[in-house]
Amino acid sequence: MEILGLIDTLESMILEGFKIPMTKKTIIDEEKVLQVTDKIRLVVQGGGGLVKKAIDKRSAPPKQETIDFEEARREVEKVKGILAEASEGDDKATEIIESAYKIAKEVRMGADKYADEVLSNLEATSSRILRSVKAGRTRLGKFVTGATQVPGIEEK
């Protein structure tokens, strides 16, 4: 059952990692993840009490730890830079999305205007054709109703 605890630890490390905005990516501490995977290997390989001793020995903090404040400051600045870039990325993404919506609206309006012009031309052409058809039927109606003489042609 030790392995389930280690898997839970690994899962919580992933869930607690820094999420990169607008992606499905997470930044996690590689060293800690590798330590947990090493512990999982030891548990899977067996070894009973030796496993616990190896885990305790490996994860025990060093007796004397010195803090390099300059390195810590650089790390803090690095994280601030990452957060600033993420914030700038969010702003830029929002700007791009707004621009895309504006362009889409203009394209839609242009397409509607073009469709209206095409339909107007079609309506005008249809009206001319309809007038020609009516005029033709009117002419034919004169011949069908009993007129024996074709206009413009004299009988001999």
Does a structural domain hold residue 39? Answer: yes
Does a structural domain hold residue 70? Answer: no
Confidence bin at 156 (pLDDT 50/70/90): very low
Q: How many domains does the chain have?
A: 1
Q: Is the pLDDT of residue 65 over 90?
A: no
Does a structural domain hold residue 27? Answer: yes
Distance (Å, whole) CA 2 – CA 6:
6
pLDDT tens-digit map of 69-89: 777 777 877 877 777 777 777
Q: Which residues constitute the domain of residue 21?
A: 1-65
DSSP class per residue in 41-57 = HHHHH--THHHHHHHHH
Distance (Å, whole) CA 64 – CA 125:
93
Distance (Å, whole) CA 147 – CA 156:
16
> Is 17 within 8 Å of 26 (Cβ atoms)?
yes
Q: Is the pLDDT of residue 122 over 70?
A: yes
Does a structural domain hold residue 32? Answer: yes
Does a structural domain hold residue 109? Answer: no
Does a structural domain hold residue 16? Answer: yes
pLDDT tens-digit map of 4-49: 888 888 888 888 888 888 888 888 888 888 888 888 888 777 755 5
Buried residues in 108-129 as b, exposed as e (16+ CB within 10 A): eeeeeeeeeeeeeeeeeeeeee
Does a structural domain hold residue 117? Answer: no
Does a structural domain hold residue 58? Answer: yes
